[in-house]
Amino acid sequence: MQLLESVRTSLEEVKGHPLRSFFTLIGVILGTLAIVVVMSVLDGVGRAVWSGMEDLGMDGVLVLSQRKPTDAMERAKAHLSHGLRLEDQKYFEGSSLITSIGPVGETRAVVTAGRVTRRIDVYGITPAFVQIKNRKTSSGRFFGESDVESKKPVCVLGFKMKEQLFGGDDAIGQQVSVGGRRLTVIGVGTKFNMQFVNDDDMRKETGGVYIPFSVYQDMFGRANAISYMLAKADDPEKSIDAEDEAAGIVAHAHNNIHDVRVENVGKEILKERGNIVRILRNWRIVFFSIAGISLLIGGVGIFSVLKISISERLFEIGLRKSIGAGDGEIFMQFLIEAVTLSVVGAAIGCAAGIAVVKVISGFFPAGLPVSLFGLSVASGFAISMGLLAGLYPSITASRLQPVEALRS
């Protein structure tokens, strides 16, 4: 009953002095609002960045590409190596660090569907490409090993390419002409999250077309069909070891002629992930500091209004102590009032923060969910600040002598 009465008294104080209460709580309100909004935005940005990095499909990926030997002795023996070939894949079969490898052909060609004609990027791939880069379709399917082996005249359109050729119509089963070859569309790629990870390769893929590598060879020639090979490390954290192993395997396969470059793209992705984590952490520290200052100001406001409230209610304190109220009861009454004020401010601030997040979520393609962690941190911080701000005034009120209080 004492707890409920103390809460009721503090709410009456808020209601009886609305302007004073507003200026008292404005710091708590702004501080909790800032924490909720900032945490929600940073969490949303973080999720969008990680989603974009996942769409990039480069975790633990190695790129093997042709290059000219730099050593004079190797240049003299260059005829002993036939360059990057499909046969190189078999040398990776016993690898424990590399799980997949496959050739990729990449060129530019004209695609036509109905009256629409575009010059686009064409990718000749195998199912290994789909596995390595974790590519999926929004409709239909990617081609399998049987499609590649039988040289089936099929293709998968990038998400943007499908919109340019067919608009809102269903593209599955439609015929397109790629480089003069009639192909049947069996799938459409997904829309990549490029809001915060705007990569050239992602942009080219979403506006390009995938065809079986065997069909690509027939269309653009077998001799120079391989633009590069993609390999996937079994564990992205061990991509450096996989890079060293891949370089050794290729050198052995090419009679120690170093005419293939092994680029560890996954290592760069890991480095970028670390940079992003540091940036997000630094932004959290900055905004938490700003919000903390607002909450500190709110705590000072609660402290001040509680001191004013005690000076206005000295007679009440003296009367209660004279009829038997102990120091602990007076202490708890005013401490509960301080905490109640901070709870009211935190509730208003959290509600306002949720409203702001809902408004700005429209600027995020995947939406912006309210951070539950931000709500809990903001509420906990605000209530703790109210508790600390109310300690000294509550102790002061509890130590007043009845006679002195009544005389005042």
Tell me the per-residue pLDDT of 139-165, one tens digit each, with 9 for 90 and over.
999 988 998 899 999 999 988 899 989
Alpha carbons 217 and 223: distance in angstroms, whole number: 8
Which pLDDT band, with edges at 50, 70 and 90, does 194 fall under? low
Q: How many domains does the chain have?
A: 2
Among 220, 245, 265, the domain-final residue is 265
Residue ending a domain, choose from 231, 265, 299 = 265
Question: pTM of whole model > 0.85?
Answer: no
The three-state secondary structure class of 271 is: helix
Is residue 276 domain-shared with residue 401, that is, in the same domain?
yes
**Residue at a domain's end among 265, 291, 309:** 265
Between 117 and 56, name the one with better pLDDT: 117
Instruction: Report the percentage of the chain scoring pLDDT > 90.
Output: 13
Q: Which residues are within 8 A (CB) of 100 and not within 5 positions of it... i.e. 6 or more apart?
A: 128, 131, 132, 231, 232
What is the reported pLDDT for 47? 75
| 26 and 153 housed in the same domain | no
Give the tens place of pLDDT for each residue, 302-318. Answer: 787 777 777 777 777 67
Residues 322 and 229 in one domain: no
| Residue 402 DSSP SS3 | helix
Q: Are 279 and 261 members of one domain?
A: no
Q: Which residues form the domain of 126?
A: 61-265
pLDDT of residue 76: 52
CB pairs under 8 A, 24+ apart, for 2-10? 2/329, 2/332, 2/333, 3/336, 6/332, 6/333, 6/336, 6/337, 6/340, 7/336, 7/340, 9/333, 9/337, 10/336, 10/337, 10/338, 10/340, 10/341
The predicted pLDDT at position 329 comes to: 73
222: tokens are 């077998």
Assess whether 223 and 170 both reside in one domain. yes
